[in-house]
Each structure stands twice: as C-alpha cells, then as structure tokens.
Amino acid sequence: MSRTVQVQPCPRGPVLVRGAEVVVDEDGAQHPVTRPVVALCVCRRSSRKPWCDGTHKAIRDDLR
C-alpha cells in the first residue's frame, strides 16, 4: 500500500510533516511520530531535535 508523506516548509520556521511514521535523523536515530502533524527543526537550535521547539524565534534575522 502506498503512503503519502506531505511536507510543508514554513518561512523562517520549521517544516511541517504529515503522514510520516518515523523520522530518521542524520545519525541514523529513529524518532517515532506520535502526533498527526510534526514540525521538524531546520534552524538546528532546537533542544528537542529533530522536533521544533520554537527556538528559531530567538534567532536574529541576519543570523538565520
């Protein structure tokens, strides 16, 4: 059965992912998806990687 994973990048924010079951990070660690939509950190400053924790809001625009 084919599954659709939907990816929605948010300007100056995370990437929203719908339909995924597991997110595998760059070290190969598996992170099970437990909510209908997850936000993946792209600023790399989150304390909850791979998930966004809102930290990107504290980063100045010129450092983004």
Residue ranges that bind other proteins, judged by CB under 8 A: 10-14, 16, 34-39, 47-48, 51-55, 57-58
Pick 9 or 24: Cβ nearer other proteins = 9
**Distance of closest approach, residue 26 Cβ to other proteins, in angstroms:** 19
Element (H, E) at 32: strand 30-32
Distances in Å between the Cα of 21 and the Cα atoms of 32, 57, 64 are: 6, 27, 29
Strand partners, 8: 16
Question: Both tokens of residue 47?
Answer: 């304390």
Pick 10 or 24: Cβ nearer other proteins = 10
Pick 2 or 47: Cβ nearer other proteins = 47
